[in-house]
Structures are given as C-alpha cells and as structure tokens.
Amino acid sequence: MSRSRTPGVSGTSPWLAAAAALLALLAGPGQAQKLSDGAIRIGFITDMSSVYSDLDGSAGGIAIQMAIDDFKAKNPGLAIELMTADHQNKADIASSKAREWFDQKGLDLLIGGTNSGASLAMKTVAAEKKKPFISIGAGTSKLTNEECTPYTVHYAYDTIALANVTGGAVVRAGGKSWYFLTADYAFGQSLEKDTSAVVSANGGKVLGAVRHPLNASDFSSFMLQAQASGAQILGLANAGGDTINAIKAANEFGVAGSMKLVGLLMFNTDVHSLGLELTKGMYMTDGWTWNQSEESRAWSKRFFDKVKRMPSMVQAGDYSATLQYLQAVKAAGTDDGDAVMAQLKKTRINDMFAKDAYIRQDGRMIHDMRLVQVKTPAESQAEWDLVKLVEIVPGEKAYQSLADSKCPFIRK
Amino acid sequence: MSSVLGVPLPALLAQLLLGLVNGSFYALLSLGLAVIFGLLNVINFSHGALYMMGAMTAWMGAQYLGLGYWPMLVLAPLAIGALGVLFERLLLRRLYGLDHLYGLLLTFGATLLIEGLFRSFFGASGQPYPVPELLRGSANLGFMVLPIYRAWVVVVSLLICAATWFVIERTPLGARLRAGTENPALTKAFGVNVPRLITLTYGFGVALAALAGVLAAPILQVQPLMGSNLIIVVFAVVVIGGMGSIAGAILTGLALGVVEGLTRVFYPPGSSTVVFVVMALVLLLRPAGLFGRQT
Amino acid sequence: MPAGSSATRLGYGLLLALALLLPQAGVYPVFLMDVLCFALFACAFNLLLGYAGLLSFGHAAFFGAAAYATGHALREWGLAPELGLLFGVAVAALLGLVIGALAIRRSGIYFSMITLALAQMVYFLFLQAPFTHGEDGLQGVPRGQLFGVLGLNSDLVLYYLVLGVFVACYLLIQRIVDSPFGRVLAAVRDNEPRATSLGYDTARIRLLAFVLSASLAGLAGALKTLVLGFAALTDAHWTTSGLVILMVLVGGVGTLFGPVVGALIIVGLENRLGDIGAALAKITGISWFSGLGEAVTIVTGCIFMVCVMAFRRGLVGEALDAWRRRRGAQAGVGASPGELSA
C-alpha cells in the first residue's frame, strides 16, 4: 500500500489523494489492512466520577470519538470501535477492565486517563498482552523509567517536564528564591525534589519547604510559614484540591501579593474553577493550550460545541493520540501490537496538539512545553481566555534526556 | 527574639491564634452533629454532604439568583434545613426504634447519592466564590496579619455555639427537647408534640451544617467532595467531646484546632493523624469521651 | 441457614458446580476472582458484625495490610505464592490483634469509632511509607508457582485455586459459627452481662473473633494482590470499609451466604454498570441510561438507602424469612423466629 498519510486535519495534496483513491479501488476494502477480528478496537479507561473527572472524564471519550470520526471520514470502510469505562480512581477496576477487554473483546489499543496508580496497573496488563498502551492523563515519570515497557507510550506530559519547565523558566524570568509548599507523600515530594534540582541548576536558591498532609483543607498556618521565609516564589508541589485551597489561602493572607505563586501541577480547569481574580499572575506549565494556534482553536470550538467546556491538555491529548494511532495502523497495514509500536516510534507527529513531535524509544512523547502565566481579569477577553504564553521550551530540553533514563530495555 | 523549641514566639502566637480560628470552625461544624446525636441518637453521616450543600447553595444563589453572601448566609441554612426536615419525616423517622447502625447507614447512603448527583451536575473542579466586599482585607496584630474574614468566622461560630448551648441547656424549649428524647412517652403526656420537636431539631442540626458551608465557601474550594474530607475529622471531634454533650463538642472543636495548629508548627506531616491519635487515646482512657455521659 | 439440611446441601452443591463451570461457559475468570476475593472479605466482616455483633469501620486496614505484605513478599523477597499468602494473613492477624486489643475494651459506637481512628492511622502510614510506593501502588507482583510446581500465570488455574481457598474459608466460617465457640459468641452478642455472669471471659472471646475476622479479611486482600498483580492505597481507605459494610447489608447480615450475594452485586455494579446502562439504553430506548456508567456512586447510594429502608435483612435474609414463613404456614404452625439480627 502506498505511504500516503493524511497529515493531521488539514487537506492532502490532490495528486496524492487521487493516487490513494485509485489504489483503494484496486485493492478493495479490507485487503489493505490485516486487522485482528476485522476491526480496530480502542478502549478508554479513566476517572469519570471522582476528583479528576473534569480534567479528562467522559469528555475525553468524546475527544477520542472525534478522532475516530475524523479518521473514518478520510478512511471509510474501516471498522473502528470505542469502549469506555470509569475506573472511579481505583486501580483494581482499571486493571480488571483492561484485562477483560484484552482477553474477551479483542482490544487493540488501551488509552489510560488520569490517576498514576491506575495507569501503572494498566500498562502492565497491556505489556503482558503485547498491545499498545497510551497514558495521557497520568503524570508519573515512572512510566518511562523504572516501569517502562516496549508497549507503553506516555503522551501529554510528565512530572519531570513540569519541574524542568516551571523551575527553569521561572528562574530565567527572575524568580530566583523559592519556598515550597509540598504535599507530604511520594508524588509531592518528588515534584519538590525535581523542581529544586532544576532551580539550583539554573542559578536559583531554595530557601526552604513545608510539608502539609494530603487533602488538608486549611492552609493558613502554612501560609504564615511561607510568608516568614521571605522568598520571591512560592512553589505549590501538590495537586487538585490542595492546590486550589492553597491558592485561596495565599490570596486571603496576602501571600499572593508578596510572593509569586507557581503551580507545579495545574491545569486550566483549576484556573477556571478558582477564577482569574485569585490566580492572576500565576505561572504554570502546560503541554497545550486551546488557543495556541488556529488549528487548536478550530478543534477546541468543535469540542466546546459538544461538551460546553474548553478542552484541557489531557482531552486534546486523547484526540491526538488516537489519531496518531489510527494513522500508524493504516501505515503499518495491521493492528498487531509490535508493528504499530514500531510505526509509532518512527513517525513525526504533526497535528493540532503538537508540531514536529515524536515518540522516543522509551515511550516518551517529546513535544514542546509552554510556560504560561494566568491573565488578569482585565486582560481576559472571554470566559476561557485564561493564560498568556511566557516561553516555549523545546521538547528535548523539557523532558528528561534518554541518557538519564532508568528504562531497562532501551539502548543508550 | 525568644523562641520555644526552635520556633520564634511571634510565629508561635500566630499559629495558636490560627488554631483558635480553625477550632471555632470545627466547633460550629461539630455542633450540628452533636445536636443531632445528643438529642436524637442519630449518627448523621451526611453532615459533610450537607455542609457541601450549604456552600453550593450559596454559590447557586450568587450564580442564578444574583444573591450575594449576606442573603445566602440566612437563606442557605433555611433551604437546606427544610430539606433536612423532609428527609427526617419521610425516611429517618422510621428507623428510630432500631440499632444506631441503620441511621448511620441510611445517612451514609444519602451522602453517596448527594455527592454523586452534585458531581454529576456541576463537575468535580469546584466553583469560584469570593470573599464578600465588606470582609476583605486584613488586620495587623503585630505578631501576625489576620484576614478580617477569618475573624468574622470566629465571631459567628462562637456566637452560634454559645447561643445553641444556651437554648438547649438553659431554656424551657431546650428542657422540653431533652425531656422528649429521654422519655418521649412521659413528655407527650404533658402535651408536648415530641415528634415535631424532633423533626425541627434535626432540621436545626442540618441548618448548622449548611451555615458552616456558607461560611467556608469564600476560603475553601466549593466542590462536591469538600465534605468527605472533613466528615471523619468532625466525627472524631464529636466522639472525643462525648457524643451526648453539646459543650463537649464545642470545647473539643476549639481544643482540636489549637492542637492541630501546634502540630503544624512542630511536626507538619503529623497534623492529619493527630486527631485520630487523640481520639484513640481518649476513648481508651475515658470511654464516653471527655464530657460525655455514660450511655 | 440450618446447616445439614438436605435442601441446603443440595443448594450448595449446585452453586459449587456452577462456580466450577462458569469459566468454561465463558464468564471472565478475573472478574469471578475479584468477586470471590470480596466475597471472602465480606464473609470475614460478617463474622464480626453478624455473629459477634461488632461493627468495625476499619476493616480495610487488614485487607490493605495483607495486600501490601503479600505483594512485598512475592515481589521483593521472591517467596512462593502459598508462603506469600500465609505471610499476608499473619500480618493481618497481628494487626488485628493490636487493633482488636485496643478496640474491644469499648462497645457500640465507641468500638466502631476506635476501629475507624486506628484504621485511619494505618492508612496514613501506608500513604507515607516508601515500601508501598504511595499513590503509584505496589506494582508488578508475580504470580509464581504454587508449591513450586503449579504455574499460576493461567487465569483459569488461578481461578480454581482462589475458588478452592474461598470454599475452604467458607466451610471454616460455617464450622466456627456452629461450634461451641460460635454459640458462646452469639451469647455474648445477645446478652453480655449474662454471659459474663455465666463465667465467660467476654473480652477474650470477642478478641478471638476479631482476630479471626481480621485474618480472613487479610487473606482476601492477599488473594486479590495475587490475582491482579498489585496492591493500591484504595485497599486500605475508609471507603473500602464502607463498601464491605454495604455488601454485607445488601446480602444479609448474620446469614452465611448473604455476604457472597452482596459482594457479587456490588462488584458486579462497579465493573459492569456501564454495560448494564448501555443494555438498558438499547432495550428501553432512553438514552439517559447510557450515562449510567459514570453514576456508580449515585447508584450505590440509592441501593444503600433502599436496603436500609426496605430490605434491612438483606436479600438473602429476606429470602430466608419468606421461605421460613412459607414452611411454617405449610406445617400449620406460626413462623419460627429467625436467628437473624433486627
């Protein structure tokens, strides 16, 4: 079959299209693809009913379906099915569902949403069954280090990239002295550790840190301690409700005025739920913003029409990863796990999510990351016009280098 | 600058004050639970969900009806209290003769249902809710800067706690209520409408939870699961204070706020477990809680 | 259920045959194993609630502790699966002894609250301890070879092992309940002062029941780690404690088989609600049903409330009661009082 690929959502050159049509006519349906059970089956397991349901949730499934529909529009005659499930933030449910789909429903691709524990459980199952697993919502960098497998792809972001970009770029923008407010468990601690290292390496200084218990509602006493430190930057090494409550307390106690707040793991959904008044001026790192380009704007509008919210980086990642997978299947001519993984790792990614991006040997998807700053209410033109770009950090600089990777099966 | 155990004195004083601020909030939150258990012998697990409903109602009032903080401070507790009355009349009432277990389980189920519904309609991220105009800004106390809103929360909480305690322990209405729960038959014989009194009490306890929610809305994230983080702590407070005692819940709430505040300064990672350690200790040494009566 | 009656034995026989054949009929073995693990957890919990009359709010601590212990033993120490399981049970029993000794001194709601407090402390310990890997969970637990010969990597083989263990434990619980110890336990539950006056050391009896319950709950957690290959923080969270209470309530407190039914329903709901919703949407044509998959907490909450209001004895309890009344009516005698709790 010819190597004609549809580059993203924009049109193909007319000659290529004609050639492809002629070939398809000659080859006939189904002959060009050797598909297991004659169909491509995509499974999507994420949190749809608990704390992370806004970031990804069932709307992520809608994004995936959009990718399937877009692909089918250009490739009619291919049977593609989507199955979705809610893991309710329980790794047990994610793992059993994934297993069942692979064993009994002929699943060809598993897409994992939020929750690192669930993602780690799912990647083990996928590797066992020799099928690709793309993790989009989870942040744990273990997926491309100690826990890497030849079948895992880690797509939109990870905690090391967030630390590198936020730490480095904020120091370069003038934020030299740091104080951390850290959630006292493995995730928060590693976020603090990674960011501290980057800050020091870039010439900044870490003045101290205070650890708070997970899901602490009240941050008033920690704010006092932060204020006493005299640092320029308050790094929030926590996520979700903790980040939001910390920001509220920071505003209340005037810390937001005297120090600059940096959210080490923050999404546009968090900014939206807090409102610009409380978050203005905050730095955060994003892998994708809905209004970063014409293409992303166009796609986001289609998403908004269906979901009534602007997409987050994770939902956009769901769309992009699905599209890339389907294109890889088409190019490889089969949905066999090994062939598709090989195809995915040698293709450049160019769509509304990322430009000139690629998937590395260890499964890490390398793409440009963006340091953004939250706009003031005056600067914002619309409900979801929340951030402005400060700096684009190229993928190779943002993500951990292959040399440092602890992935056991790669050749360095 | 003098210091205690390595912490400078002004910082320590500041943390103590903050501890009292939090403590008064805990006291208000536990008050509703203590009223419902102390007088009705019902373990209201949905207290956290009702607190969340109070906060969400305040937001809905602002969002859909344009009603600000001050009207909602009164309307939200009334609205949620009315729902509580309905709940008691239709469902809870039928379980009074049975083991405590069933009231607990019913309200636990109600919690799952309420949180699930709110999450389904409003999403999990939460809604913005600003501090009301009048209460913005902070006061410089020398050793620390205290936001005015927090001072307001202390004032309201302590006032309401004191008023509730007074009504229940020192007025004829309270006496009738206490009599009605200790010996319904005898009290009814005196012409007191005991079932109605019980329903209103439950409604009052629910309204207290909702009020705490409205007070919390400007400073904590208003989201469907905000109650589930607090409910366990609130239970602990009521149990430590003694499940039948109103004064016990209030005093324990305040004390816990201070203890937590001190833990946050000297050993921050332990501040979430300290309440459970205290609860286990108290229950082992004084089985009915600090101020409770032996049942 | 009166053990020994021929109808009961026939019923159990049929169920066992069904259980043995289900995987051959195409029912997914991993799902069945999940159900069996939680059924064991629920039966262990019921031993404490239904037969000893003690409501523990922290049973997830034992479930999770054994899950982590077994996971650690199998992954880090390379123990054989049977030894790993035993280690998990031992850890759960020890934890049960410690928590039980502290909690037994009080009764009623205070007992429940102490178990909750101590379980929360265990949870926070797991959250911070390095060996659990916190939120990421303890991943990559191998299944190994049973007794060095039987490879457990096949889902089918593992299923029969889990089924065997479950049946053995079920028989064990039945034995405990019908034994002299079980009778004394029931006596202590129904009237503690009288039991004391008869000379029984009620505290020790309760503690023994607590440790037994904790050990079996631990076995359930250890088995689950073996089946799924990892242990997670949710195993020790208080919501898991709540879930097992729901399973026992739905199935029938104080009945032997009730918890199994409850576990089947709840685990089935968690895993299959999405499919059920899709099927309902197709049958009734109401598209709202297809969103059911995200509504697990809502549906669970409803079931909880309905059970408390209308089916207090749980499904099996109500069924038993109806059966007994029919038999009583047929024999021309009034209904005999059940041994079920109110």
pLDDT tens for each residue of A25-41:
443 344 345 677 788 99
Scan for tokens 């709901």, then name that residue. Answer: C269
Between B6 and C148, the more confident residue is C148
CA distances from B77 to A308, B50, B128, C62, C290 (A): 31, 10, 20, 40, 35
Residue A412's pLDDT is what?
62
Q: Which of A393-402, C215-224, C241-250, C311-320 has the highest mean pLDDT?
A: C215-224
Question: If you average pLDDT over residues C312-327, what whole number do you get?
Answer: 86
Smallest Cβ–Cβ distance between B99 and the set C114, C238, C342 belongs to C342
Instruction: Give dist(CA A122, CA A146) in Å, integer.
Output: 15
Q: Does A254 touch chain B (CB under 8 A)?
A: yes
Q: Which residues of B touch C116 (CB under 8 A)?
A: 232, 235
| C235 Cα distance to chain centroid | 13
pLDDT of A223 > 80? The answer is yes
B189 pLDDT tier (thresholds 50, 70, 90): confident
Q: Do A220 and B22 touch (CB under 8 A)?
A: yes
Residue A367's pLDDT is what?
95
- Provide the pairing of β-strand A133-135 with A109-112: parallel
A14 pLDDT tier (thresholds 50, 70, 90): low
Which residue of chain B comes nearest to A243, CA vs CA? B221
DSSP state of A286: E
CA distance C177 to chain B (A): 22
Q: Do C297 and B280 touch (CB under 8 A)?
A: no
End-to-end CA distance of chain C: 16
Which residue of chain B comes nearest to A88, CA vs CA? B116
Residue B60's pLDDT is what?
93
Between C46 and B276, the more confident residue is C46
What are the φ and ψ backbone dihedral angles of C130, each rounded to 5 degrees?
A: -65, -35
Q: Do C309 and B94 touch (CB under 8 A)?
A: yes
Neighbours of chain A (3+ CB pairs under 8 A): B, C
Instruction: Give dist(CA B193, CA B183) in Å, integer.
Output: 13
Residue A43's pLDDT is what?
95
pLDDT of A370 > 90? The answer is yes
A59 pLDDT tier (thresholds 50, 70, 90): very high
Smallest Cβ–Cβ distance between B128 and the set A212, A215, A273 belongs to A273
> Could you give the percent of chain B with pLDDT greater than 90?
34
Q: Do A214 and C271 touch (CB under 8 A)?
A: no
pLDDT of B10 > 90? The answer is no
Residue C35's pLDDT is what?
94
Q: Are A320 and A349 in contact (CB under 8 A)?
A: yes
CA distances from C92 to A140, B267, C141 (A): 30, 29, 19
| Whole-structure pTM value | 0.87
Smallest Cβ–Cβ distance between B284 and the set C105, C120, C303 belongs to C105
Residue B158's pLDDT is what?
92
Question: If you average pLDDT over residues C112-140, what whole number do you get?
Answer: 86
Residue C133's pLDDT is what?
84
Residue A8's pLDDT is what?
39
Mean pLDDT of chain A: 87
Question: If you average pLDDT over residues B211-228, what whole number do you get?
Answer: 90
Residue B14 three-state SS: helix
Question: If you average pLDDT over residues C20-28, what whole number do you get?
Answer: 84
pLDDT of C27 > 50? The answer is yes
B75 pLDDT tier (thresholds 50, 70, 90): very high
Residue C315's pLDDT is what?
86
CA distance B203 to chain C (A): 19
Residue B47's pLDDT is what?
94
CA distances from A212 to A216, A238, B273 (A): 7, 9, 12
Residue A151 three-state SS: coil
State the amino acid at position C27 in one-letter form: V
Q: Quote the tokens at residue A105.
A: 């429903």
Residue B149 exposure: Cα atoms within 13 Å on the Cβ side: 23
Angle (nearest 5°) at CA B226 between B222 and B232: 155
Residue A354's pLDDT is what?
93
Residue A386's pLDDT is what?
93
Instruction: Give dist(CA A130, CA A123) in Å, integer.
Output: 10
Question: If you average pLDDT over residues A52-81, what whole number do you get?
Answer: 91
pLDDT tens digits, one per residue of B79-97:
999 999 999 999 988 888 7
Residue C111's pLDDT is what?
86
Question: If you average pLDDT over residues A199-215, what whole number do you get?
Answer: 90
Q: Are A144 and A154 in contact (CB under 8 A)?
A: yes
- Provide the pairing of β-strand B3-4 with A387-393: unpaired
Q: Do A221 and B21 touch (CB under 8 A)?
A: no
Select from B154, B145, B136, B139 the least CA-distant residue to B218: B136
Which residue of chain C comes nearest to B116, CA vs CA? C298
Residue C295's pLDDT is what?
82
> Could you give the percent of chain A with pLDDT greater than 70?
91
pLDDT of B142 > 70? The answer is yes
Residue A121's pLDDT is what?
92
DSSP state of A404: G
pLDDT of A3 > 60? The answer is no
